[in-house]
Amino acid sequence: MRIGTGYDSHRFAEGRPLILGGVRIPDHAGLSGHSDGDAVAHAVIDALLGAAAAGNVGSHFPPTDDRWKDADSMELLRRAVQVLEGRNYQVVNVDVTVVCESPKIGPWVDAMRDALGAVLRIGPGGVSVKGKTNERMGWIGR
């Protein structure tokens, strides 16, 4: 049994869709990034690769590589699972905390659990997603 942690942060960017955990959240500014900016997917990738000591999202999908420009991060996650499987690991569960003042994550939690659980092949029962605000404190709060 190995456990990894992942973390990611992205700036908001007007004119881009907001995609978190593979779910398109309407009526909200998206996140900047070389790929689709799905910070939840990126953090999960880092946690999985970290657990396997198999690199990180940047080493597998570098932003200098045009292949990953505007990439579907859930496809990157699928590839990360393949890296783990190539090392005879399998994902058991993931636990995600999304920290932001807006949007409210609650209404999208089940859709994210479904989407992540499908790609990870552990189903929604293996995926926890929780939203937290930063109580308007600090750079996250702003």
Name the site residues for Mg ion (rule: CB under 5 A). 8, 42
* Residue 90 or 97 having the CB closest to Mg ion: 97
Q: Minimum Å distance from CB 59 to Mg ion? A: 13
DSSP codes of every residue in the chain: -----------EETTS-EEETTEEESSS-EE-SSSS--HHHHHHHHHHHHHTT---HHHHS-TT-GGGTT--HHHHHHHHHHHHHHTT-----EEEEEE-SSS-SGGGHHHHHHHHHHHHTS-GGGEEEEEE--TT-HHHH-
Question: Considering the complex, what minimum distance in angstroms separates the CB of residue 4 from Mg ion?
Answer: 16
Nearer to Mg ion, 68 or 108 (CB): 68
Q: How far is the CB of 33 from Mg ion (least distance, A)?
A: 6
76 or 109: whose CB is closer to Mg ion?
Answer: 76
